[in-house]
Amino acid sequence: MELIRGYPAYMRESIELVEKTRQRRMKEKYRTLSIEEREELLRKYHPDYKPGTKRPLKIGPSKGMIAPHEVIDLLEAHPHVMPDDINLDEIDIDVDLLIIGGGGAGMTAALWALEEGLKPEDILIVTKLRLGDSNSIMSQGGVQAADRPPDSPVRHFIDIIGGGHFANDRKLVKILTMTAPYMMAWLERLGLMFDKDEEGNMLELWGGGTSIRRMHSCKDYTGMEIVRVLRDEIRNRQVPCLEFTSAVELLTDKEEDRVVGAVLLNMESQQYYVARAKATILATGGFGRIHIQGYPTTNHYGATMDGVVLAYHVGARLRDLDATQYHPTGAAYPEQIVGLLVTEKVRGAGAQVVNRHGEQFVFPLEPRDVEAAAIIRECWERNNGVETPTGMRGVWLDTPMIEELRGKGAFKRMFPAIHKMYSRVGIDPAQDPVLVFPTLHYMNGGIIIDEKAQTTVKGLFAAGETTGGVHGKNRLMGNSILDYLVFGRIAGIHAARFAKHTSPGKPSLRHVIRYEEMLKAAGIETDRKAPVLLPDYRGERVLARRIEIL
Amino acid sequence: MPDETEGLGETVRIYIMGKEYRVPAGLTIMKAMEYAGYRFIRGAGCRGGFCGACATVYRKEGDYKIYTDLACQKTVEDGMYLVQLPFVPANKAIYDIEELKPEPNILLRFYPEIARCVSCNTCTKACPQDIEVMYAIQHALRGEIEKVANMTFDCIQCGLCTIRCPAEIPHYHVFQLARRIYGRYILKPAKHVKERIKEIESGKYDKEMEKLLTLSVEELKKIYENRGRIED
């Protein structure tokens, strides 16, 4: 197919309509929806409400919780290791604090555990990819903190609760919003390059569902800048880290109901290690790579919900896993980048979302679930989307508006990552709009934690995307980075305190036997095992003809 | 290789570490290798161009040049000879950010090897992020921290520059140090952040917050709907 500056001729025709309406639209303000209108739109068009996509969980302390089949499948699955498979008498690693996950939450926890007095050698971070490879590093648009008048933590709190459909754990939201400015100052001290004016004031932008400009950013590499600074600091402080090593099961004490470490797997040699720890933090992130409802995802390669599975094996309670976040603007064209993120900051900076006729159909900065539902309706109910050569549908994100509003060269200056991604496939987003459709983005729910980031099981802490409660049924932009900073810190501090007053446990896998008994009692017969650690994208023909010997 | 191209539409030949595979056209290098049967443990990270885990080196048939890119971002082309670079050995200086000063010689002090730069520009050609790596090293030599920090902001630390450098410079660590010094000591801290922290610590918001914890959902909904947008 012949392409003209990256697009086939028929898509160019629609782009011309977008160009034609642009000057008029620049002055147009699309109205926002009321709570009732939002709820109706969600009920009809959001993927969470699609019939036949969910079922209740049959076992464990959160029995009855409704969640997508893909999630329940991993919870109603066998653990990988049984007590007879592992020699628990030999302790390979013995630490005060074991941190599972090397993204933003894990690294923040480690740094604050040091502040609390643990020595680097008392801590171990394990991560199944490399330190820092995570959803945290992929976050583009920014981080929220109510740190300038006339904004306030109270306003931030109210925005969050409304965005989360009033289902959030309010105590956690209070901590999140009241600690936010403090975390910004912490990042400044670590040497973060925030977008600032010459006086040092933060340049703050709009985000979906916020009632004031509150988004702090580092161009569209906000997550990358934070993660590489945290990683550099972890290396300066010489906190030990095992890469390409995953936790395949937690360990519980022989007598007491508490977590005392984990069974680790060296993913390259397939060897296991018994890691004993006085306190354990799950910082394992979300679930994009289990592809809920078959959606493409913005998430990193290891986002397979391992922490939720591990926590559930030891009896920790879960919440809000019925609510999945689809980011409204994933790339829908061309095929190579389908599902990758086009940051909400593009809309925060003034770009509109328009249909194939070049008309707006939704306020560009509704909360994410509402915005996503409106785009789905426009494409599949009203037939106002643009069909791609592979049969996907999408709407236009009118990126050239950024140049119109903020001057020539503004797009590349503010969005170097997005500009680069599209340049590689022959599209200039400063000149032409880009086609977008919702993409699987974030696990709104997860493991229940309290104000000390403790799960409902003693000795087990959790922080970041693997937890639930902070965001209720829908997270707003810029609150995921904030979540891992605030609760990563709290988890690090309280896990360190817990470890200081705890003696090492006597590791056992008795919870695995209990889990197997629950599966059996519920009549669940399956070959599935979890956690899955990584997705499998090998070609079908290869898999169908595979002989496993080596 | 047996012909396995039936029903695939347009295909291209790629050579994964020298071994030929036919794969559908239009895939990224990463997806093409998976299609061919590779399951990554190393060499795949964020899959979105932000982490640098999938740095890839390739040559094309009949072309003397060495090319570099990210496997998750680059589309396969017919006749590509591919190898991944899953790890780059490069020593990082250990420092305490609190004790540094933004002095002109500081980068050279921690990384004296930058003085070995022969200005060959191979690093720049290797950069998948289009950073002017060689110029950034020259600015580092001259102690121009601000220039280094801003020029290298898009660095994803994949290490391709470092592994290609004849002077054996660990560019991406030098740049990280420059950015942290810039962020810590040259960019001004935000006064409004400090002031807000003081307000929070003084208890200014405690009463309102406590009230929000106890309201009914209906009351909260009212507050939410009436909060208004502040367009300042």
Contact criterion met (CB < 8 Å) for A336 and B129: no
Percent of chain A with pLDDT over 90: 99
Q: What is the pLDDT of residue A428?
A: 98
- Which of B182, B188, B200 has the CB atom closest to A178's CB atom? B200
Question: How many interface pairs between A and B have CB atoms less than 8 angstroms apart?
Answer: 234
| Total residue count of chain A as it appears in this document | 550
**A277: which DSSP letter?**
E
Interface of B with A in 158-187 (CB under 8 A): 176, 179-185, 187
Mean pLDDT of the residues in chain A:
97
Q: Is residue B20 within 8 angstroms of chain A, CB to CB?
A: no
Contact B104, B36 (CB under 8 A): no
Q: Is residue A300 within 8 angstroms of chain B, CB to CB?
A: yes
pLDDT (average), residues A231-249: 98
A390, closest residue in chain B (CA to CA): B26
Q: How confident is the model at residue A124 (pLDDT cuts 50, 70, 90)?
A: very high
Chain B residues close to A421, C-beta within 8 Å = 48-49, 73
Chain A residues close to B181, C-beta within 8 Å = 191
Q: What is the pLDDT of residue A73?
A: 98
pLDDT digits (tens, 9 = 90+) for A57-113: 999 999 999 999 999 999 999 999 999 999 999 999 999 999 999 999 999 999 999
Strand, helix or coil for residue B19:
strand
Smallest CA–CA distance, residue B179 to chain A, in Å, is 7
Q: Which residues have CB under 8 Å from A512's CB, separation 6+?
A: A79, A81, A82, A83, A249, A313
Q: How confident is the model at residue B2 (pLDDT cuts 50, 70, 90)?
A: low
User: Tokens 């500081």 map to which residue?
Assistant: B106
Interface of B with A in 80-119 (CB under 8 A): 92, 94-97
Q: Is residue A391 within 8 angstroms of chain B, CB to CB?
A: no
Q: Which residues pair with B81 in a beta bridge?
A: B15, B59
Contact criterion met (CB < 8 Å) for A421 and B73: yes
User: Tokens 């942290």 map to which residue?
Assistant: B180
Contact criterion met (CB < 8 Å) for B227 and A178: no
Interface of A with B in 202-221 (CB under 8 A): 202, 211-213, 218-219, 221
Write a three-state SS string for A388-453.
CCCCCEEEEECCHHHHHHHCCCHHHHHCHHHHHHHHHCCCCCCCCCEEEEEEEEEECCEEECCCCC
Question: Token pair for residue A474?
Answer: 């829908």
Q: Which residues have CB under 8 Å from A113's CB, separation 6+?
A: A97, A99, A123, A492, A493, A495, A496
Any catalytic annotation for residue A327? yes
Residue A7 has pLDDT above 80, yes or no: yes
pLDDT (average), residues B44-52: 96
Smallest CA–CA distance, residue B133 to chain A, in Å, is 16
pLDDT digits (tens, 9 = 90+) for A358-408: 999 999 999 999 999 999 999 999 999 999 998 999 999 999 999 999 999
- Which of B47, B188, B197 has the CB atom closest to A301's CB atom? B47
Q: What is the pLDDT of residue A1?
A: 76
Chain B residues close to A225, C-beta within 8 Å = 153
Chain B residues close to A241, C-beta within 8 Å = none
Chain B residues close to A266, C-beta within 8 Å = none
- Which of B74, B96, B176 has the CB atom closest to A424's CB atom? B74
Residue from A165, A313, A327, A511 carrying the catalytic annotation: A327
Smallest CA–CA distance, residue B38 to chain A, in Å, is 6
Percent of chain A with pLDDT over 70: 100
Any catalytic annotation for residue A541? no
Distances (CA, A) of A467 to A165, A380, A422, A444, A460: 17, 33, 33, 8, 12
- Which of B4, B73, B205 has the CB atom closest to A178's CB atom? B205
Query: Degrees (nearest 5) of the Cα angle B28, B32, B36?
Result: 175
Q: Which residue type is seen at B178?
A: A
**Using CA of residue A486, residue A206, residue A32, residue A326, what is the dihedral sign?**
negative
Q: Which residue type is seen at B171?
A: H
Contact criterion met (CB < 8 Å) for A298 and B48: yes
Smallest CA–CA distance, residue B46 to chain A, in Å, is 4
Chain A residues close to B37, C-beta within 8 Å = 538-539, 542
Q: What is the pLDDT of residue A418?
A: 97
Contact criterion met (CB < 8 Å) for A417 and B221: no
Q: Which residues have CB under 8 Å from A261's CB, separation 6+?
A: A93, A98, A250, A251, A274, A275, A276, A277, A280, A505, A507
**Using CA of residue A522, residue A528, residue A532, residue A534, what is the dihedral sign?**
negative
Mutate to test the interface with B, among A190, A218, A224 (most CBs of B within 10 A): A224
**A471: which DSSP letter?**
S
pLDDT digits (tens, 9 = 90+) for B81-132: 999 998 999 999 999 999 999 999 999 999 999 999 999 999 999 999 999 9
Contact criterion met (CB < 8 Å) for B28 and A336: yes
Chain A residues close to B96, C-beta within 8 Å = 236
Rg (CA), chain A: 23
pLDDT digits (tens, 9 = 90+) for A149-203: 999 999 999 999 999 999 999 999 999 999 999 999 999 999 999 999 999 999 9
Q: What is the pLDDT of residue B8?
A: 74
Its pTM stands at: 0.97
Chain B residues close to A267, C-beta within 8 Å = 41
Residue B1 has pLDDT above 70, yes or no: no
Contact criterion met (CB < 8 Å) for B183 and A534: no
